[in-house]
Every structure is written in structure tokens, then in C-alpha cells.
Amino acid sequence: MKYLITIFIIFQTSFCEAQQTLPNEEIVFSFKTANAKILTLAKDKRNKYLVYRFGTINKTELEFPNKNLDSWKVFTYSYYFRGGGKQNARMDLDNLWFVNEGFEYLIFSSYNAGDDEISESFEVGLKITNLKTGKETIINGIENSVVGSLQQFRTNNLIKIDYYRID
């Protein structure tokens, strides 16, 4: 029995590391990139904080912000939704961003149902903008690696929503 418990603990720890979460956290949104990086938005299971992590399975390159109640205030969410189907090209755009040390980090997820001229598409990724120079770097995510959704920020009442920004 002790052997099984030990294996369970090792597996659980490995799983949390692979997902870039702590035992008291759950994934809000996550995806992998082509260069084996993982972007994870995680929150405390009791909503004590929201945290962004980016890096590999073995090394977190950036964790932002500090894990406290004020962390919810440093993120802003925006979205645009147009219902329908192919007849009126349904769209669903979701963005979450924060600013850290002169750079804006914008996490995006966009779906377009397409029409006669444009095929259906889904994109996910991270856009990093240097606020001094305006230079942008886009890191595309692998669409079939997505876990969770940014849409929950529409109704969770914990994060500021910008109804006017659409990237």
C-alpha cells in the first residue's frame, strides 16, 4: 500500500510540474508552443490569486505577478463575440493581458467560423509588445494542446474587462 501511495504522490507531483501548477491551483488556460514552451494561466482553487507562467516543463522563465489577491487587478480581459454560423461568419475573440517591466503580454484565442471566402480557423498564442519601441513578437500556440478557456473571465467578476479593445 505504501508503494502505491508513493507512486501516486510522484505521479501527482510530476503532473503538476508538467502543467506548471501547484497542488492548490487549477488551470484556467494553457497551451504548448512549437518550441516546447508552455503558457499557463492558473488560479488558486479558492480564487485567492491568478498567475501567469511561461517556460518549459523543467524551468519557468516568467511567473507574474506575486500570488496574492491583488494579482487579479493586474490582468485585463477583452472579448468580441458574433454569433451565427457560416452565413454570418461567427467569431469569438478573447484576449487577456498584463504589463511587466515595459512589455505588454497579450494572450489571445480567436475562432472564426469562416464563410465562402475564408475557411474556418482557430488561433491561440502570445503577443509580446515592447512598449518603448512598439516591436511585437508573436508566439503561436498549438491549437490541439489548448486546455481551458479565456471565456470564463466574461462572468467571473474578478478581473477588469475592457469592452473597447479588440486586437
In the chain, domain spans: 2-161
Q: Which residue from 21, 29, 22, 18 is spatially nearest to 106, judged by alpha carbons?
A: 29
**Mean pLDDT along residues 1-13:** 37
Provide the pLDDT for residue 85: 55
Provide the pLDDT for residue 18: 46
**Mean pLDDT along residues 14-41:** 84
Q: Please report, rounded to a whole number, the percentage of residues in the chain having pLDDT higher than 90.
A: 69
Check whether 20 has a pLDDT greater than 50: yes
What is the total residue count of the chain?
Answer: 167
Provide the pLDDT for residue 9: 34
Distance between CA atoms of residues 47 and 39, nearest Å: 19
